[in-house]
Amino acid sequence: MSTAELIFERARALPSDKQAEALRFVDFLLAHRTPEAEAAEWRTLLQQTQALPVARTLTDDDIAAEVAAVRASR
């Protein structure tokens, strides 16, 4: 019997309030990824962001001009 099947069988024996608590715990586990998985997701997002057309045409001078404009408007 697989682990998932064991969890299912044991959860069926619980009263409904405990089943709901177990479900919330499973949701908690699903929501909290490992640091490695989260870092991989951030790397992917960074690569996708850097591939955007705006990111490829933005220069250091463009950034400096934008920063200067924001500071001047304060």
pLDDT of residue 12: 95
Which regions of the chain are under pLDDT 70?
55
Q: Global pTM? A: 0.46
pLDDT of residue 1: 87
pLDDT of residue 55: 67
pLDDT of residue 52: 85
Cα separation of 7 and 25, whole Å? 12
Cα separation of 61 and 17, whole Å? 60
Cα separation of 22 and 8, whole Å? 11
Residues 11, 22 contacting (CB under 8 angstroms): yes
